[in-house]
């Protein structure tokens, strides 16, 4: 593991590392913000999953999260969104291939050689972080758009692993959205049962843990009606009394202007669960 960036920030350090990933078979980058409290002992961790076309840079440079993380004493880990490199399969479109890993374990060629972002986020990355940084095993997870999908699915499929979960503008039902249908067809093939394992709306009914979901959605989001469809998550949660706080924000779009406007609410939500 090699540190390739370091920036002092609000009494802590915003770093970027790269390492050889066994899950993905390529070099991966991830951002780590260590708050000042980490100099005195282990701190809890919030994992952030970014959306389509993003890298590890988008959240750490645009969200203004470092000041909030320093106030709450939380480390922030933000990985890249997919495997990358000349040997990694890709597609000319922005919504498939590099930059569009969708946080699944691909089963179809040529994607199955590298696209195992689910294993990377759930297992490999936390093991690496907990081995090499002053952090505890208290974890939470959040994300935006494709990353919001990833955060919800990973939390729902791994009861007891995360203290809290939240999402901005998540793709709540990728099996019913063009983005998800395109990605799942490529990565997972025609097996609809495999698709359902990566769909938060499908997973809610049988969730083994009723971890409260915090979701923020802008009502001026261009992707609201055909890709995101938060009402599907609302209906699924209502059917089984799964706790959901869905905030519909008038005038806000899909951008980091939206995320930075409400990220403080999400850090407070995670801090209340992590710092207990």
- 136 part of the active site: no
Distance between CA atoms of residues 242 and 91, nearest Å: 37
| Residues 173 and 199 sit within 8 Å (Cβ to Cβ) | yes
- 95 part of the active site: no
- 250 part of the active site: no
Whether the link from the prior residue into 110 is cis, omega within 30° of 0, is yes
Q: Catalytic one among 216, 221, 242, 269? A: 221
Distance between CA atoms of residues 196 and 173, nearest Å: 9
Q: Catalytic one among 242, 254, 266, 269? A: 254
Pairing of the two strands 75-79 and 26-34:
antiparallel
Give the contacts of 52 (CB within 8 A, at least 6 positions apart).
81, 94, 95, 99, 100, 145, 146, 179
| Residues 148 and 103 sit within 8 Å (Cβ to Cβ) | no
| pLDDT band at residue 276 using 50, 70 and 90 as cut-offs | confident
Q: 205-252, pLDDT tens digit by residue?
A: 999 999 999 999 999 999 999 999 999 999 999 999 999 999 999 999
CA 254 to chain centre: 15
Q: 54-111, pLDDT tens digit by residue?
A: 999 999 999 999 999 999 999 999 999 999 999 999 999 999 999 999 999 999 999 9
* CA distances in angstroms from 102 to 43, 96, 117, 131, 242, listed in the order given: 28, 9, 7, 26, 24
Taking the complete model, does pTM exceed 0.95, yes or no? yes
What CATH topology corresponds to 1-273? Rossmann fold (3.40.50)
Q: Tokens 């709540």 label which residue?
A: 172
Q: Catalytic one among 9, 82, 142, 145? A: 145
Contacts 24+ apart (CB under 8 A), 130-135: 132/1, 133/32, 133/34, 133/38, 133/75, 134/34, 134/38, 134/39, 134/41, 134/42, 134/43, 135/38, 135/42, 135/43, 135/44, 135/45, 135/75
Distance between CA atoms of residues 125 and 106, nearest Å: 18
| Residues 47 and 126 sit within 8 Å (Cβ to Cβ) | yes
Question: What kind and span of H or E run contains 27?
Answer: strand 26-34
Sequence ranges of the domains in the chain: 1-273
């Amino acid at each position: 593991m090699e540190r390739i960036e370091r920036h002092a920030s609000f009494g802590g350090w915003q770093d970027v590392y790269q390492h050889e990933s066994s899950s993905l078979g390529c070099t991966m980058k991830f951002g780590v913000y260590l708050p000042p409290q980490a100099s005195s002992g282990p701190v809890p961790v919030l994992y952030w999953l970014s959306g389509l076309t993003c890298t590890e840079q988008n959240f750490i440079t645009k969200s203004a999260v470092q000041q909030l993380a320093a106030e709450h004493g939380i480390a922030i880990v933000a990985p890249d969104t997919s495997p990358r490199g000349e040997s990694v399969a890709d597609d000319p479109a922005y919504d498939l291939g590099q930059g569009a890993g969708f946080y699944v374990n691909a089963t179809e060629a040529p994607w199955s050689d590298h696209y195992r972002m689910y294993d990377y986020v759930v297992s490999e990355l936390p093991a690496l972080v907990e081995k090499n940084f002053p952090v505890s095993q208290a974890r939470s997870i959040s994300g935006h758009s494709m990353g919001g999908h990833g955060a919800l699915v990973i939390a729902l499929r791994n009861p007891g692993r995360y203290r809290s979960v939240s999402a901005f503008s998540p793709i709540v039902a990728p099996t019913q959205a063009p983005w998800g249908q395109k990605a799942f067809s490529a990565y997972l093939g025609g097996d609809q049962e495999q698709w359902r394992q990566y769909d938060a709306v499908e997973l809610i009914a049988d969730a083994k843990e009723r971890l409260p979901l915090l979701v923020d959605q802008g009502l001026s989001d261009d992707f609201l009606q055909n890709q995101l469809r938060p009402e599907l998550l609302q209906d699924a949660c209502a059917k089984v009394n799964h706790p959901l706080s869905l905030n519909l924000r008038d005038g806000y779009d899909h951008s980091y202007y939206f995320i930075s406007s409400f990220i403080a609410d999400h850090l407070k939500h995670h801090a209340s669960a992590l710092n207990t």
